[in-house]
Structure 1
Amino acid sequence: MPKVTSADGTTIAYEVSGAGSPVILVGGALNVAASTRPLAQALEHRYTVVSYDRRGRGASTDTSPYDVAREVDDIAALLTALGGQAAVFGFSSGAALVVEAAAAGLPITKVVLQEPPYAQDDAEPNEGGPAVLRFLADGRHREAVETFLTMAGMPADAAVDLAAQPGMADLAPTLAHDFAVMGNATPGGTVPYDLIAKVTQPTLVIYGSASPPFMIDAARSIANALSDGQQVELQGHQHVVPPEVLGPVVEAFLA
């Protein structure tokens, strides 16, 4: 995998495919470059697509202490490697990271946000997050992944099976990164309207009609708050959308 060096010296590994205008794909929690590869394959006939290992994952290194601004710097390094500017797609907590990057003024041409999982202001506190952090502090990585997945709505048996897959426990420490991204702007991970107001690029917000109601509400709130926002509801789909459905929607917007 080719690599770029971020501002703090962290090495970010990425995959690149296709030809055309550049697009960077930013994965969510427990995602690596391979996680966004199916979407890259759906877009590469028209675009130069980059999927990357966010810091602390896969072939990328990490530098302590973690700070959301450092992950924004990682995207900046990829933009430089791609010639200075690109469209950027973010999934789940990766979409929240893209909001941070766009609001910071990076040279992003268009933004696509797929279900950033912000809560509403009146949402009840979720005890799953603190439990995940406690497991991480105790070095109980598999339990941290299981707890996170069940917190996200996955059935317990499926969460246990996925947490046991090779390499999954190695990604567990980066859950703390995602919690920081989600809660960086406002306490509790609610929709950061102050950041949304700074996103001036044309932006598409995508959500599934069968996704958890709080994700649908957040997506609609973000789209309505953007200065140049659009929204698309994918009928019958949940948080994870097949690339053959998601790809054409992203492509049409970027075109």
Structure 2
Amino acid sequence: MNTVVSADGTAIAYSKVGQGPAVILVDGAMCYRAMGPAEPLAKLLADSYTVYTYDRRGRGDSGDTAPYAVEREVEDLDALIKEAGGGVFLYGISSGAVLACDAAARLGGIRKLAVYEPPFVVDGTHAPRPDDYLDKMDAMIAQDRRGDAVTTFMKTVGVPGFVVAIMKLTPNFKKLKGVAHTLPYDFRVLGDTGRGQPLNAARWAGAQLPALVMDGGKSPQYMRNGAKALSQALPGADYRTLPGQTHLLKPEAVAPVLKEFFV
């Protein structure tokens, strides 16, 4: 296992495959190297790039130094960028897309930024997240109600109740509960982007680099609207829809797009 030490002393576990320019993949909520889309995508990119996948803090083999702050996750990426030699391409999905945008706005060493479907609510096409949502999530974790936190999150992102009930009977649900304590981290990364209001473009004004914002042609309209809004908020960003895709993006659908963009 490879590790890099972040600015606050936290060990961040990572893997790398392939050969060529460096690409760092940033996962969304509850995903990490052993569970999620990053590893399959890395294999598809490895013929053209050196691809870094990592466990965001609190997940997998990475540490989790308290107290949490979004700035610490940006520092984790900074350490990885330096480990990769700088001049990296950065790709993030879902809440990882938002973290990747924050990193691009604050850090050097990033050549291009690509993101897929940040889970924003920017208009009336979806109910805004309740003001007390994060407080309730914090309380569930503090009370060790990890299963409740996972099911609450699943319902929030639109997973049907019967699907959630089935998931609770699968071995993967235990893995999800194992990283449930990081759900509040993701909602802190999202910040105030779930209010049903326009984005604050000033948050990413420092991201002066080529960027690509993608969504799926079969994704909910609110997510597509959020992606379009981000493409307008990021300086110099292009917007692209991947036909037939949903928020559960297939690695085979995005790999060729990234290869086309990361040149």
Query: TM-score when scaled to structure 1?
Result: 0.93
1:156 aligns with 2:164: no
User: Which has the higher mean CA deviation after the structures are superposed, 230-239 or 22-31?
Assistant: 230-239
**Equivalent residue number for residue 12 of structure 1:** 12
1:147 aligns with 2:141: no
Q: Indicate if the aligned counterparts of 1:129 and 1:148 stay in contact, CA closer than 8 A.
A: no
| Cα-to-partner distance string for 1:9-58 (whole Å, 9 max, x where unaligned) | 00000110000000000000000023210111111100000110000000
1:214 Cα shift? 1.3
1:135 aligns with 2:140: yes
**Equivalents in 1 of 2:106, 2:166: separation in Å?**
38
Q: Across the two proteins, how many residue pairs are aligned to each other?
A: 254
1:226 Cα shift? 2.6
User: Which has the higher mean CA deviation after the structures are superposed, 242-251 or 153-162?
Assistant: 153-162
User: Structure 1 counterpart of 2:138, which letter?
Assistant: L
User: Structure 2 counterpart of 1:125, which letter?
Assistant: P
User: Structure 2 counterpart of 1:95, which letter?
Assistant: A
**Equivalent residue number for residue 221 of structure 2:** 213
Q: Indicate if the aligned counterparts of 2:120 and 2:193 stay in contact, CA closer than 8 A.
A: no
**Equivalents in 1 of 2:196, 2:24: separation in Å?**
24
Are the structure 2 counterparts of residues 198 and 189 from structure 1 closer, same or farther at C-alpha, using a change threshold of 3 Å? farther
1:240 aligns with 2:244: no
| DSSP 3-state at the match of 2:128 | coil
**Equivalent residue number for residue 125 of structure 1:** 128
**Equivalent residue number for residue 113 of structure 2:** 111
Q: Indicate if the aligned counterparts of 2:128 and 2:194 stay in contact, CA closer than 8 A.
A: no
| DSSP 3-state at the match of 2:179 | helix
**Equivalent residue number for residue 85 of structure 1:** 87
User: Structure 2 counterpart of 1:194, which letter?
Assistant: A
Q: Indicate if the aligned counterparts of 1:99 and 1:195 stay in contact, CA closer than 8 A.
A: no
1:197 Cα shift? 2.3
Q: Indicate if the aligned counterparts of 2:123 and 2:222 stay in contact, CA closer than 8 A.
A: no
**Equivalent residue number for residue 40 of structure 1:** 42
Are the structure 2 counterparts of residues 203 and 239 from structure 1 closer, same or farther at C-alpha, using a change threshold of 3 Å? same
Structure 1 spans left out of the alignment, 5+ residues: none
Structure 2 spans left out of the alignment, 5+ residues: none
Q: Indicate if the aligned counterparts of 1:11 and 1:61 stay in contact, CA closer than 8 A.
A: yes
One of 224, 228, 232 as aligned partner of 1:224: 232
**Equivalents in 2 of 1:189, 1:144: separation in Å?**
23
1:155 Cα shift? 1.4
CA RMSD of aligned residues (A): 1.9
**Equivalent residue number for residue 98 of structure 1:** 100
Q: Indicate if the aligned counterparts of 1:144 and 1:172 stay in contact, CA closer than 8 A.
A: yes
Query: TM-score when scaled to structure 2?
Result: 0.90
**Equivalents in 1 of 2:165, 2:90: separation in Å?**
32
**Equivalents in 2 of 1:175, 1:181: separation in Å?**
10
Between the aligned residues of both structures, percent identity stands at 39
1:187 Cα shift? 7.7
User: Which has the higher mean CA deviation after the structures are superposed, 221-230 or 96-105?
Assistant: 221-230
1:195 Cα shift? 1.8
**Equivalent residue number for residue 188 of structure 2:** 180
User: Structure 2 counterpart of 1:81, which letter?
Assistant: E
**Equivalent residue number for residue 175 of structure 2:** 167
| DSSP 3-state at the match of 1:144 | helix
